[in-house]
């Protein structure tokens, strides 16, 4: 795990180990965002974005979950884009919660995927993970977070994937994952635009049909 200056933090665990550690401390009831953030310890942007975006890659179809996870991501990515050293959260956001079993199930499904990804991680294209580049990543991720927070069919998975790739790039200083994240982000915007356009056209023709 890396801090904003690209130096590895005292916690040298792999990303998969950090993600796996989030699960199963709560097995029943609900887990609040404050509890999730507390478990993270080092509140680096990369790990925070990964924690809230990665579950959406597999759980985006659960009703309401995109808004639940999308709003914290808006706060996180906006502060990354503005160059804040660490993100801060309003109290009302910290009290939001998600079902512990759903959260643990999503983490369990994701850990093997992260383990496979880790095999390909290495420090590459350093110009793409400088502090200035991270602010640009934050701006793109902010757009992704806004899309994620909206109930746009088919867009949640690719949007969350793009943000997860950016998070991995920040954590491991791997510029290749920035490139991959940009490609997926462009596809996400295209999907969202298509869905919104189709929806607006459908509403227009429906109203036109009813009015005559």
Q: Tens digits of per-residue pLDDT, 121-136?
A: 888 999 999 999 999 9
Strand partners, 32: 97
Taking 90 as the threshold, does the pLDDT of residue 188 lie above it? yes
Taking 60 as the threshold, does the pLDDT of residue 7 lie above it? no
Q: Give domain limits for the chain.
A: 15-211
**Cα 100 from Cα 65, distance rounded (Å):** 13
Contacts of residue 168, Cβ cutoff 8 Å, sequence gap at least 6? 15, 46, 50, 117, 121, 174, 177
Q: What are phi and psi of 210, to 5 degrees?
A: -70, -45
pTM value? 0.80
């Amino acid at each position: 795990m890396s801090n904003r200056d690209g130096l590895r933090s005292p916690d040298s665990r792999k990303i998969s180990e950090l993600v796996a550690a989030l699960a199963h401390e709560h097995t029943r009831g609900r887990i609040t965002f404050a509890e999730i953030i507390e478990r993270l310890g080092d509140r680096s942007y990369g790990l925070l974005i990964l924690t809230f975006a990665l579950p959406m890659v597999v759980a985006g179809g659960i009703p309401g979950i995109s808004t639940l996870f999308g709003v914290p991501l808006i706060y996180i990515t906006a502060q990354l884009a503005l160059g804040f050293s660490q993100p801060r959260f309003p109290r009302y956001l910290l009290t939001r919660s998600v079902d512990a079993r759903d959260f643990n199930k999503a983490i369990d499904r994701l850990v093997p995927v992260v383990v496979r990804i880790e095999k390909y991680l290495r420090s590459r294209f350093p110009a793409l993970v400088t502090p200035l580049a991270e602010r640009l990543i934050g701006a793109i991720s902010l757009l992704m977070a806004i899309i994620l927070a909206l109930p746009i069919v088919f867009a949640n998975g690719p949007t969350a994937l793009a943000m997860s790739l950016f998070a991995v790039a920040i954590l491991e200083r791997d510029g290749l994952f920035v490139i991959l994240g940009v490609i997926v982000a462009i596809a996400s915007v295209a999907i969202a635009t298509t869905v919104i356009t189709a929806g607006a056209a459908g509403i227009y023709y429906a109203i036109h049909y009813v009015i005559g």
